[in-house]
Chain A
Amino acid sequence: MKDKDIVFAGEHTWASYVGHGFAVISIVGAALALVSFFLAERKGSVQWRSLGRVGFRAHSVAVFSIVALLFIMLLNHWFEFDYVWKHSNREMPLRYIFSCFWEGQEGSFLLWTFWHAVLGNILLWRWKQGRHSEWEAPVMMVFALVQVFLASMLLGVHVFGERVGSSPFLLIRQLPENLGLPWTGLADYLQKIPAFQDGRGLNPLLQNYWMVIHPPTLFLGFSATLIPFAYAIAGLWRNKLKEWMEPAIGWTFFGVMILGTGILMGGAWAYEALSFGGFWAWDPVENASLVPWLTLVASGHLMMVNKRKDTSLFTGFLLTLGTFLLVLYSGFLTRSGVLGDTSVHSFTGDGMKPGLMLFVLTFMLLTAVMLVRDTGQRKFLGLLSLALLVLGIVLKVQALAVLVFAVLFVIALFWAYRKFPKAAQEEAVWSREFWLFIGALVLVLSAVQITFSTSVPVFNTLLSPFAKPLSWLAETTGSSFIADLSHAKLAPPSDAKAHYNKWQVPFAFIIALLVGIGQYLRWKETDMKRFGKQMLLSLVVAVVATAVVVFSMEYEWKELNLIALLFAAVFAAVANAAWIWKGLKWKFAHAGPSIAHVGFALVLLGALISTSKQEDVSRNTGRMVLSFLSKDFDDNTDALLYRGDTVRMGEHFVVYKGKRQEGVNLFFDVEYLEAVPRVYHVGDTVRVNNSLYVCTTEHLAVDHFLADPANWRASQDFTRRQQWHAEPYASKAPGKSLFGLAPLVQINPKFGNVAEPSTKHWLHRDLYTHIRFAELQLGANEATDSLQWMPPRHYGRNVGDTLVTPTSVAIIDSVRSVRDSMTMKLLGPEFDVKVAYLRIRDLYDEGRWFEARPLLIFRGGMAVAGKGAELEPLRVRFDLERVGPGEPMEGEDPAAAEGDIGLSVSDREFIVMQAIVFPGINILWIGCALMFLGTLVAVRQRWKRKPSKA
């Protein structure tokens, strides 16, 4: 290739070479570590172990250098690199450089690799201190194997025509689609081509501080699951089925803490920056991070049982190993592009699918082979699966191979289970270990349900080779369901929230109850009389508190599942708080688990209350009723607010005041006013169903007019004008201004405009608002003019014609010249004033007629000025634009040039805003903080403790 000889001006070609070089070092280092630690374990040799450490350190240094280099590239805006160009630009605030770093596929893999390298080195350092150092070789072997895979994802080289991984160090001119294009031969292409002067920038949704800390936290959590996995594999390898848990358990709860925090940070980001109105939407990407957390929690709790005895040992292994497999699977789901049409925030494929699949399958194979205790079966299974893998890759019959592989995996687990050591006798029913086991099972069921529902697109892929037999089956049985299966067209449940809640609420109920009683149960056997006495107080408090919440927040009996969960969550919080007091006598150092459990219960409670009692306070004020169109359509969201109007919304009055631009953000200022009791004075009129009523005595308004008949008399004679300007009866009046919110729309031509919510936080609830629709152009006198208008609609008509606007029907009765002496004297004889006489009917209220007379002033045949007619009740203005034949204007509807009369109709400026009240959402955030703190205390306690003799 020729470009080797060209010196590209200003291009940091060296960084590309160095970056690729580090990528190669990182994979070679990891491979060296893998082989060395393997041999060290096999031969018990210290030399091999030292070499393994060297390999892993080299790998780590390479990974850290790649991270540093990518940051340097981003910080210095080296837009010749594809990754830099795609994910950053010059305008962006510096802190978002971090978000750019992990926005792309390559960056997020790098982050994952980075944390593994960090954790691996921490492990090496801790072993050096002498604790549990006997586990070094087998654990690091697993680490190195994972790193070989991850490092290969960053290579971006072609092997046998298949691309392996994707490198962040690729120059734009090296992209496959650009190879050979003429400009790639220009030595000064960076200076000549304007597109290289600035990058595309970061997706505006990600320009949020949560996006700076959420991904690294989440990935640290994901990475932490590798440690218990590696220990478990090491335990199986050495046939020390219990000893590995002592060092692994602290790390497991470390993972629980970090991963849980990371997930909730994602929720906080969604709540603050996204406009779906909530912190959790059961999106596949969210689910993919929740599922490993559930199994990690289950595995951590089972380890506490398994350390002591053999009961549920197999389940414990399965969970520990399964958690890491689920992390890999979640990586596969979100990165391979398989989710495609079911999630809005998944990555596109980028050809990563085969590599990722191989990654997942390899570790499934490792897990299965290690779990099988019988050497013969192990060899048979290993070879068969390996053969299948190779066959699948070579013949490219992925789906079939994966399916057979999965069946083999299940058979392997069955074999493994039969040969696994089991407890000689069953545990007592009222023992802590028994209920921990039940809890773990429920968590697993919960995880299985989420995984199953999330994986629908995967099933479609897997089912596709069986289209023919399935459609035959569908024809013979006449089942439309099988017919759907045969088309491989299964779609996820359309109401995701309802679907998941139906299953997850009962699971959460059981879990919360178990969390409540867990610490009161004793290992081996519990004295049930004492247990009952201890639980009584918490039970009573929980029942009372639940009753108070149920009645004050008006839960209905048909929501029994929610009430049950409410009770269980309150009970769990109270019982664990009581344990700190009664059981631990305020010994804070031992209170970690209890604090974390209180936190978990509060997270459940906050999520339950804020989502089940969330209220759309914005009402659809549209004139057309949606439910006429379809029974499924909901009228109760998204209020239309005309600028300057004071309207009731929830327990406030709101006024949309106007918009202002700051940088790329367009803010919409909405003022919130107190709603105070309304006083009607003598002579005040209100409109009730087309009739007018006049107030006869000064009095305080009540809830409804019908409840207030004594103070009003029906008015007999009133003008139409009076009738339509009279306000309806209202119990409240706007009082003093309380606060303002400014939801915004970020103007971003490259990525599309994005609305960001604005939320008012109180202690007990949040008011969340965001803009659904608005005029994004600033008006001429935006700051001073309280009346602005939406862009006009133009109509071309003749006298006698009608025109239909979205809210009205207008009839053009006539257009006349005004020639009265007054006008002539005022303007002078050279002016001619034309007036259009319009009759206007409310489109949604046939009895409601108005008149409008817009005028246009001509001088010597040229229109020089006009005055529109505003119809205040309809919030509409009519302008006369033209009298005489029209000419089509560029960019306008040609119909507007028809006829002899040009009219334009403008609506008063408005915004469409959604407002939701989330009660008790702070309980969730407090719970999150407590869960983090409690787990931190527990992990610290565990790491400080001397190795137990047991």
Chain B
Amino acid sequence: MKRSHIIALVVIAVAMAMLIGTLADNSTFMGLAQAMENPGREVRVKGMLDKSQPIVYEPVANANLTEFTLVDDDGVKCKVRLAKAKPYDFERSESIVLTGSYEGTAFHANDMLMKCPSKYTEGNKLQTDGEWTKVK
């Protein structure tokens, strides 16, 4: 066997291991309903902040806990405990992605991505009265 073949084999082996390792590390996007069926499994959930429910952030009790309600893309609602301080302009967010798992009574999120309308998209529209309003 030539040395170049050995190297090629090693490279292929490492590449395969990486591929499998990466897939094993990947988490999955899920709806809330599915996340509730798999309590304890780490998943990603995409949805929106339910603005009709209160956002509870009481730093004097704990500065690293924010509680709110998420509505996922299928319309399922769930209470969320986020182990982070409440982000600036959370109320303005239009879309959020949570990483965490469902634990009995609530979705426990360790991480959150948040998109605010004016920050990341350009959905502003000019109206005749000169006021700018946001369109989703």
**When the two chains form their complex, are residues B15 and A445 in contact, meaning their CB atoms are under 8 A apart?**
yes
Q: Given A341-B46, A348-B120, A755-B88, verify A499-B130 contact (CB < 8 Å).
A: no
**When the two chains form their complex, are residues B126 and A178 in contact, meaning their CB atoms are under 8 A apart?**
yes
Shortest CB distance B63–A (Å) = 4
| Complex contacts, B44 vs chain A, CB 8 Å | 341, 491, 494
Is B85 engaged at the interface, CB distance under 8 Å to the other chain?
yes
**When the two chains form their complex, are residues A490 and B113 in contact, meaning their CB atoms are under 8 A apart?**
no
**When the two chains form their complex, are residues A493 and B25 in contact, meaning their CB atoms are under 8 A apart?**
yes
| Complex contacts, A624 vs chain B, CB 8 Å | 61-62, 65
Interface size on B (CB < 8 Å)?
64
**When the two chains form their complex, are residues A195 and B132 in contact, meaning their CB atoms are under 8 A apart?**
yes
Is A936 engaged at the interface, CB distance under 8 Å to the other chain?
no
| Complex contacts, A629 vs chain B, CB 8 Å | 65, 81, 83, 108
**When the two chains form their complex, are residues A912 and B59 in contact, meaning their CB atoms are under 8 A apart?**
yes
State A182–B127 Cα separation when bound (angstroms).
9
* Residue ID in chain A nearest B111 by CB atoms: A494
Is B36 engaged at the interface, CB distance under 8 Å to the other chain?
no
**When the two chains form their complex, are residues B25 and A912 in contact, meaning their CB atoms are under 8 A apart?**
no
**When the two chains form their complex, are residues B97 and A192 in contact, meaning their CB atoms are under 8 A apart?**
no
Hey, what's the 0/1 contact readout for A198-228 against B, CB within 8 Å counting as 1?
A: 0010010000000000000000000000000
| Complex contacts, B97 vs chain A, CB 8 Å | 341
| Complex contacts, B85 vs chain A, CB 8 Å | 638, 772-773, 912
**When the two chains form their complex, are residues A481 and B23 in contact, meaning their CB atoms are under 8 A apart?**
yes
Is A640 engaged at the interface, CB distance under 8 Å to the other chain?
yes
| Complex contacts, B11 vs chain A, CB 8 Å | 441, 445
B-contacting 9-mer, from A25-33, A60-68, A446-454, A719-727? A446-454
Q: Taking chain B's interface residues, is the majority helix, strand, or loop, or is none over half, making it mixed?
A: mixed
Interface size on A (CB < 8 Å)?
74
**When the two chains form their complex, are residues A626 and B28 in contact, meaning their CB atoms are under 8 A apart?**
no
**When the two chains form their complex, are residues B110 and A753 in contact, meaning their CB atoms are under 8 A apart?**
no
**When the two chains form their complex, are residues A752 and B118 in contact, meaning their CB atoms are under 8 A apart?**
yes
**When the two chains form their complex, are residues A195 and B131 in contact, meaning their CB atoms are under 8 A apart?**
yes
Hey, what's the 0/1 contact readout for B77-101 against A, CB within 8 Å counting as 1?
A: 0000101011011001001010111
* Residue ID in chain B nearest A876 by CB atoms: B60
Is A376 engaged at the interface, CB distance under 8 Å to the other chain?
no
State A845–B113 Cα separation when bound (angstroms).
35
Is B22 engaged at the interface, CB distance under 8 Å to the other chain?
yes
**When the two chains form their complex, are residues A754 and B88 in contact, meaning their CB atoms are under 8 A apart?**
yes
**When the two chains form their complex, are residues A203 and B126 in contact, meaning their CB atoms are under 8 A apart?**
no
**When the two chains form their complex, are residues A181 and B22 in contact, meaning their CB atoms are under 8 A apart?**
no
Shortest CB distance B17–A (Å) = 9
Hey, what's the 0/1 contact readout for A240-271 against B, CB within 8 Å counting as 1?
A: 00000000000000000000000000000000
Q: Which of B64-85 contact A (CB under 8 A)?
A: 64-65, 81, 83, 85
Hey, what's the 0/1 contact readout for B97-136 against A, CB within 8 Å counting as 1?
A: 1011101000010110111101111101111101110000
| Complex contacts, B120 vs chain A, CB 8 Å | 344, 348
Shortest CB distance A438–B (Å) = 7
Q: Which of A159-200 contact B (CB under 8 A)?
A: 172, 177-178, 181-183, 192-195, 200
Shortest CB distance B118–A (Å) = 6
**When the two chains form their complex, are residues A623 and B28 in contact, meaning their CB atoms are under 8 A apart?**
no
Hey, what's the 0/1 contact readout for A418-446 against B, CB within 8 Å counting as 1?
A: 00000000100100000000100100010
State A675–B43 Cα separation when bound (angstroms).
44
Out of B58, B88, B116, B130, which one reaches A193, CB within 8 Å? Answer: B130
Shortest CB distance B115–A (Å) = 8
| Complex contacts, B95 vs chain A, CB 8 Å | 341
**When the two chains form their complex, are residues A638 and B60 in contact, meaning their CB atoms are under 8 A apart?**
no
Shortest CB distance A314–B (Å) = 11
**When the two chains form their complex, are residues A448 and B42 in contact, meaning their CB atoms are under 8 A apart?**
no
Shortest CB distance B31–A (Å) = 9
**When the two chains form their complex, are residues B15 and A622 in contact, meaning their CB atoms are under 8 A apart?**
no
| Complex contacts, A910 vs chain B, CB 8 Å | 59-60
Is A489 engaged at the interface, CB distance under 8 Å to the other chain?
yes
Give 11 CB contacts A-B under 8 Å.
A452-B18, A452-B19, A490-B23, A491-B27, A499-B22, A503-B21, A639-B63, A751-B116, A773-B59, A806-B58, A806-B60
User: Residues of B at under 8 Å CB distance from A?
Assistant: 2-4, 7, 11, 14-15, 18-19, 21-23, 25-30, 42-44, 46, 57-65, 81, 83, 85-86, 88-89, 92, 95, 97, 99-101, 103, 108, 110-111, 113-116, 118-122, 124-128, 130-132
**8 interchain residue pairs of minimum CB distance:** A622-B62, A752-B89, A489-B29, A806-B58, A772-B85, A193-B130, A493-B25, A633-B83
User: Residues of A at under 8 Å CB distance from B?
Assistant: 86, 172, 177-178, 181-183, 192-195, 200, 203, 341-342, 344, 348, 350, 426, 429, 438, 441, 445, 448-449, 452-453, 456, 481, 484, 487, 489-494, 499, 502-503, 620-626, 629-630, 632-635, 637-640, 745, 750-755, 772-773, 806-807, 843-844, 875, 907, 910, 912
Q: A491-B29, A492-B27, A632-B110 are in contact. List 16 more A-B contacts (CB 8 A).
A: A426-B2, A445-B18, A487-B29, A490-B29, A624-B61, A626-B83, A629-B81, A632-B101, A633-B65, A637-B64, A750-B118, A751-B119, A773-B63, A806-B58, A844-B61, A912-B59
